[in-house]
Structure 1
Amino acid sequence: MPNNSDSNVSTADALTLLLHNQHALAAAIEEVTKWLSENDVEDVADNAVVAMETLDTNAKAITDAIMRLRQL
């Protein structure tokens, strides 16, 4: 399959926007987690921490994909 530079750039740009959204969601979850912890809702706060860890893991994979696309 031939390299399509314009397609790669468009895909990388779209993934970058999704990554920015993911960072925004993580920040919001972090704020809610802090509030939950301060208000003794530890079980829910713990679940939120797990969600943030998943966002972090996926953000790394998205970042790697963006970098590969931009190198083509």
Structure 2
Amino acid sequence: MPAPYSLPDMLERIYENQLALEAAIMELSLWAGHEGAAHVDDNICGALETIGENAGHIKQGLARIKQTGKM
């Protein structure tokens, strides 16, 4: 396990924050859709797509950093 405050540890925490934000935004999207705010729900879904795509890139980068041991 990397030392606290190492680059891999920091990036892992950023990735975890990204996932938590995605979950929170998804809840807001469901609420907005339920309340009839379809336009808001559409905008949120667009943001969620971007978050999902970026999360994939972050996860791949983390895997490479951990595999090579680069910091």
TM over 0.5: yes
Q: Could you tell me how far apart the structure 2 residues matched to 1:71 and 1:24 are?
A: 25
Higher relative contact order (CA 8 A, sep 6+): 1
Q: Could you tell me how far apart the structure 1 residues matched to 2:45 and 2:8 are?
A: 28
Show structure 1 runs of 4+ deviating over 4 A: none
Q: Residue 14 of structure 1: which of 10, 15, 26 is its match?
A: 10
Q: Counterpart of 2:61 in structure 1: which amino acid? A: A
SS at match of 1:40: coil
Q: Could you tell me how far apart the structure 1 residues matched to 2:13 and 2:27 are?
A: 21
**Aligned-pair RMSD on alpha carbons?**
1.5
5+ residue gaps, structure 2, are: none
Based on CA coordinates, which of the two structures has the bigger radius of gyration? 1
Q: Does 1:65 align with 2:58?
A: no
5+ residue gaps, structure 1, are: 1-5
More helix by share: 1
1:1-72 maps to which residues of 2 (within 5 A)? 10-72=6-68
TM-score after normalising by structure 2 = 0.86
What is the count of residue pairs matched by the alignment? 65
TM-score after normalising by structure 1 = 0.84
Q: Could you tell me how far apart the structure 2 residues matched to 1:13 and 1:63 are?
A: 12
